């Protein structure tokens, strides 16, 4: 079942005066905002790192790290966050200077309740307008990456920033999450797009052949080398080389790859000529490379060289808002490709899509839609047209709810299971359950307290 909510906007108040915090917090919570507080800039930056607010109300004069320094740190790391400076009469000039340094506006003490509401509403309306424009622009520019959920929009923002650079990118995510789509989006929106991106699947080629595939070989370099071969690095000169499943590359070949990345040159197997190559590397893996480093199967220095720009692709189960969007996208794509009539997805089939875990991610969803397109008889895709494991989801869901639980116990089980599915992300969990983040935090705290009482 999919839960919907009107997302509560979060405001961070930063001030070393408890009375000021109390006045602002009471008013803003009365206006329906979620409020978190900090008493100095250092604590504020830690809170922002944990969970981004929609707006920061930031005092100028504070201990440890004052408002101007805090503003600088916020804009360096999170340029999209709006900041309203809080100022007393004696610091108005500094507040004006802060607006020149990127603060949206300032709010003067002593506060009038209606003035607080007006300023905050204006700032957040401006933020909504900017975010909506940015969202539409991103979705239009990167149409090959389908979805509108916050996790996928974050991916698109990174792609937007780094596409037209030469930075090495490491795309990590489970199998089927669309890592090659991200690589192609990076390439197609770079200055290298005139040349085709070259793809190598490191897991699909045996170790003894992968070196030749990447670097090429001279005739007679090894038994069976009856001709000269140009490797993928040379073919990708002036373009992009996508190394898929980099975690499956042998430790020996990793050393040679690292040298190539550092020096920008290769030698073919059996050759002596040094060949300069201008190649932008995008690597991808479904493995946890930090664990591979600890296990001694992946070089730490290569990891740092590849991980200049990390992109984490979320699994489909963490992109609930995108499931039906993607289903419709694949339905249109495969109906057209296989000369099939346009069909609708039945409500029951939609419910099954939302209940299913999608261990195969986008790839599994696409294949499920393709199967339905080929097997559906009428104008509507029904549950019977879907793979058996999806059809049986509803039954498994019913069987998974133990009989005899109280409503409170069922709520706890639902919250904890959703939190686990969202990989511990409390904000996303609250969104899916349709409750505020503060309510979720209170409930989780209650569960922890209950456990402590029982032990």
Q: Write the secondary structure of 375-386 as one string of H (helix), E (strand) and C (coil).
A: HCCCCEECHHHC
What is the Cα–Cα distance from 158 to 186, expressed in whole angstroms? 10
- CATH 1.10.8.60 residue ranges for the chain: 317-399
**Residue 126's pLDDT is what?**
78
CATH class of 150-314: alpha beta
**Residue 97's pLDDT is what?**
78
Name the E strands within 78-118: 82-87, 105-108
Where residue 102 falls (left for φ over 0; alpha for ψ -120 to 50; beta otherwise) is left
**Residue 217's pLDDT is what?**
84
- CATH 1.10.10.60 residue ranges for the chain: 407-454
Alpha-helical runs (H) found in 264-387:
289-295, 300-306, 323-337, 347-355, 361-375
Q: Is the peptide bond before 110 cis (omega within 30 degrees of 0)?
A: yes
Q: 317-399 in CATH: which number?
A: 1.10.8.60
How many CA atoms, within 13 angstroms, populate the side-chain half-sphere of residue 381?
29
What stretches in the chain show pLDDT beneath 50?
A: 1-6, 398-399
**Residue 400's pLDDT is what?**
52
- CATH 3.40.50.300 residue ranges for the chain: 150-314
Residues 291-329 have pLDDT tens digits of 999 999 999 999 999 999 999 999 998 888 899 999 999
Alpha-carbon separation of residue 55 from 51, 80, 265 (angstroms): 12, 10, 48
Strand partners, 244: 201
What is the Cα–Cα distance from 197 to 189, expressed in whole angstroms? 12
Q: What is the pTM for the complete model shown?
A: 0.62
Q: Token pair for residue 12?
A: 């961070």
Angle formed by the axes of helices 150-162 and 113-141, nearest 10°: 70
**Residue 171's pLDDT is what?**
96
Q: 407-454 in CATH: which number?
A: 1.10.10.60
Third-level CATH fold of 10-133:
Rossmann fold (3.40.50)
**Residue 394's pLDDT is what?**
58
CB 318 within 8 A of CB 422: yes
- CATH 3.40.50.2300 residue ranges for the chain: 10-133
Angle at the Cα of 431 from the Cα atoms of 425 and 433, rounded to 5 degrees: 100
How many CA atoms, within 13 angstroms, populate the side-chain half-sphere of residue 430?
19
């Amino acid at each position: 079942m999919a839960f919907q909510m009107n997302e509560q906007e979060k405001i961070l108040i930063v001030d070393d005066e408890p009375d000021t915090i109390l006045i602002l917090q009471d008013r803003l919570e009365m206006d329906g905002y979620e409020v978190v507080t900090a008493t100095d800039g250092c604590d504020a930056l830690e809170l922002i790192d944990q969970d981004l607010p929609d707006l920061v109300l930031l005092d100028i004069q504070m201990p440890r790290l004052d408002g101007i320094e805090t503003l600088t740190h916020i804009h360096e790391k999170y340029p999209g966050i709006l900041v309203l400076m809080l100022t007393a009469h004696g610091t108005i000039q500094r507040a004006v200077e802060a607006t020149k340094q990127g603060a949206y506006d300032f709010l003067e003490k002593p506060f009038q309740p209606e003035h607080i509401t007006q300023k905050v509403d204006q700032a957040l309306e401006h933020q909504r307008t900017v975010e909506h424009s940015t969202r539409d622009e991103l979705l239009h520019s990167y149409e090959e990456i389908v979805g509108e959920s916050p996790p996928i929009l974050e991916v698109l923002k990174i792609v937007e920033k780094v596409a037209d650079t030469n930075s090495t990118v490491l795309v990590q995510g489970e199998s089927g999450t669309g890592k090659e789509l991200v690589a192609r989006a990076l390439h197609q929106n770079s200055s290298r797009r005139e040349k085709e991106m070259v793809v190598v699947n490191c897991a699909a080629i045996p170790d003894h052949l992968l070196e030749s595939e990447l670097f090429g070989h001279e005739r007679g370099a090894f038994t069976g080398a009856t001709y000269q071969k140009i490797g993928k690095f040379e073919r990708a000169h002036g373009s992009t080389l996508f190394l898929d499943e980099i975690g499956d590359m042998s430790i020996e070949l990793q050393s040679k790859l690292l040298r190539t990345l550092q020096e920008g040159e290769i030698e073919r197997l059996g050759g002596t000529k040094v060949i300069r190559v201008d190649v932008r590397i995008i690597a991808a893996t479904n493995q946890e490379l930090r664990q591979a480093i600890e296990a001694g199967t992946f070089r730490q220095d290569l990891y740092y060289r590849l991980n200049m720009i990390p992109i984490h692709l979320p699994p489909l189960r963490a992109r609930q808002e995108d499931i039906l969007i993607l289903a419709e996208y694949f339905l249109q794509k495969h109906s057209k490709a296989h000369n099939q009539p346009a069909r609708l997805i039945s409500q029951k089939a939609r419910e099954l899509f939302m209940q299913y875990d999608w261990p195969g991610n986008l790839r599994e969803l696409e294949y499920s839609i393709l199967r339905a397109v080929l097997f559906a008889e009428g104008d509507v895709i029904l549950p019977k047209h879907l793979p058996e494991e999806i059809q049986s989801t509803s039954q498994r869901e019913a069987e998974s709810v133990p009989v005899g639980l109280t409503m409170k116990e069922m709520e706890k089980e639902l919250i904890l299971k959703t939190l686990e599915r969202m990989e511990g992300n409390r904000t996303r969990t609250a969104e899916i359950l349709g409750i505020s983040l503060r309510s979720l935090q209170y409930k989780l705290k209650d569960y922890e307290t209950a456990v402590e009482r029982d032990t």
